[in-house]
A and B are shown apart, each in its own frame.
Chain A
Amino acid sequence: MALLSFLDRERIIAKPGFNRWLVPPAALAIHLSIGQAYAFSVFNKPLTKLVAASQLAPTDTLRALSQSKLVDAVTAAPADWSIPEVTWVFSLAIVFLGLSAAVFGAWLDRVGPRKAMFASAMCFSFGFFLGAVGVHLHQFWLLLLGYGVLGGIGLGLGYISPVSTLIKWFPDKPGMATGLAIMGFGGGAMIAAPLSVKLMQYFHSLNGGVGVAGTFAALGVIYLVYMMFGVFTVRVPAPGWHPVGYVPSEHQGKLVSSYNVSVHDAWKTPQFWLLWIMLLVNVTAGIGVLSQASPMSQDFFPVRITAVIAGGFVGLLSIANMSGRFLWSTFSDYIGRKATYLVFFTLGPLMYILVPLSGRIRSVALFVFCCFVILTMYGGGFATIPAYLRDLFGTRQVGAIHGRLLTAWSTAGVLGPALVSYIGKYQTDHGVPKAHQYDLTLYIMAGLLLIGLICDLLVRPVDARYHSPEIPDTSTMRVFTPTPERSRG
C-alpha cells in the first residue's frame, strides 16, 4: 500500500517551525463535517414522502412549488417509510459512533491521526453515497447500511481522531484545544441544516421529487473535500516536543498524572467508570431538555411561543451547545477538570429545578436563560472529558481511552429518549396537565446530575500499580527538559 504511505504517522511528524495553530482548524474541519449528524432530522419528513412524491407527474407547476411545500402537500403512499423507521437511521449512526470509537481507538493511537481522519472521511462520505443509492432505489436496508453503519463508523473515527493529537500539541491548554475541535461537532449541524434544505430545494427544482438522493450525493462530495483539508493539514509533534517555555502550572494539582496508563489498564480503574457515569448522566440530562425543548416551550408559553418560534429556540440551544464546548473546556484549564464538573453537577440541578418554575411564573427570559445554561454544560461535558482523561491517564493512549468512554454517549443516546418518553407517557396516563408534564422529567434529570456530583467527588489519582513506568508522559512532567527541536507556541 505504498500509494497510501502519505497517511503514515512517520510522514506527518511536524518539521521544526511548524505552527501548532494549524492543527485546530484541521480538527475543526473533521468535526464540523461529522457534526452534520445532529441535523439529520431535516431529512426525516422528506424521507417519508419519497414514493408519494415520485408518483406525481413532473409538471412545471409542481417544480415551481418549494420542496418543503411539496413535502407538506403530498400524503405518504402506503409503500413509504414511516417516521419511527426513519429515526432508526440516526439512532444506528450514534450506536456505531460509540462502537467504532471504542473498537478503533487503540488502532488510531498506533497509526496516527491522518490515517484515521482519512478512514473517517471515506466512511462518512461513502455512507452518504450508499444512502443516496438507498434513497434512489427506495431500499431501506441500503440507507441503514450507508448512513447508519458506514456513516456511523465515520462519525466515531472522526470524533476521536484529532483529540489525542491536539492534547499533545497543547499540553499547556488541553481543555481549550479539545474544546475547539469538539465545538465543531456542535456547530456542524448549524451549517448542515440550512445547507441541506437549500440542496433539497435545488435538486427538487432540477429533477422533481423531494431531492433527498441528490442532496445525499452532494453532501458526500462536499464533506469528502472538506475533510480532506483536515487530513492533509494535520501533523503530530516530534517526540519530546513541547511549546517554548512550557512549564506545567501548579493549579493542575495532584490529579494530573505524570505517567501513562494503557487502555487495557484504564478499563480496570474506578476512575474510568466514574467518568463513564459522569458522561452518561450529563448526556442523559441534556437530552432530557434537548428532546423536549420545542414542545415544552410551546406548552409553558402557549400564546407567546408558536411552533416557528420554538424552532428558532431549538436553534438557539444549538448555539449554547456549541459555545459551551469551547468555553467550559477552556475554563477547565484554569480551574481544573474536577472543579469544572463540580460546577456542572451543582449549577445543573439548580437550573433544572428553575425550568418548571419559569413556566409557572410565565418568565420566558428565565426559561431561555436556564435552558441555555443547561445546554452549555451539556456541550461542556463532552468537550472537557478528553482533558480529564488526559489528566488521569496521561497522553499516550488517551485517544483509545476516550473512544471507550464514548460508549457512555451511545448508552445515553438510547437511555435518554426512552426515559423521557416513558416518564411523559406515565404523566399523560395519570392525567397531569400539559404544562406540568415536564416537571417530573426535569426533577429526575436533576437527581441524575447529583449522582454525577458524587462520582466527581470520588475521583482520585490513578493508583500507581496501573501506571506504565517505562514510558513517562513528557507532556505533563514537572521537570522542564529542554530539547533542540521546538516550535512556536
Chain B
Amino acid sequence: MADDVRLQSASASSRAENSSKVLVILAWTFVLVPLAWGVTQTLIKSIAIFR
C-alpha cells in the first residue's frame, strides 16, 4: 500500500517535471524566435562589410 502511494507520488512528480520542461521550452521559443529573426535581418545587412 505504502509502495503504491510512493509510486503514484513519484509518477505525479515526474509528470509535473515534464510539463514544466515543456513550458520552459515554449517560453524560451516565444522569446528567442523573434530575437533570432531580428538578428538574422541585421546579419544579412551587415554581411557586406566582410566582402
Contacts and interface: CB of A to CB of B under 8 A. Distances in A.
Interface of A: 17-19, 21-22, 25-26, 28-29, 32, 184, 187, 189-195, 229, 233, 305, 308-309, 311-313, 315-316, 318-319, 322, 364, 368, 488
A29 B27 CA distance: 9
A308 B48 contact: yes
Q: Which 7 A-B pairs have the closest CB atoms?
A: A190-B38, A191-B38, A312-B46, A25-B27, A316-B46, A315-B42, A312-B45
B39 interface: yes
Contact of B41 (A194, A305, A316): A194
B49 A313 contact: yes
Contacts of B47: 312
Contacts of B35: 28, 32, 184, 187, 190-191
Interface of B: 13, 16-17, 20-21, 23-24, 27-28, 30-31, 34-35, 37-39, 41-43, 45-49
Given A17-B17, A319-B39, A22 B27 contact: yes
A25 B31 contact: yes
Contacts of B34: 32, 191
Given A25-B27, A29-B31, A187-B38, A309 B49 contact: yes
Nearest to A180: B31
A22 B34 CA distance: 17
Contacts of B30: 25, 29, 229
29 contacts: A19-B24, A21-B28, A22-B23, A22-B24, A25-B24, A26-B27, A29-B31, A32-B34, A184-B35, A187-B39, A190-B38, A190-B39, A190-B42, A194-B37, A194-B38, A229-B27, A305-B49, A312-B45, A312-B48, A313-B46, A315-B42, A315-B43, A315-B45, A315-B46, A316-B43, A316-B46, A319-B46, A364-B49, A488-B20
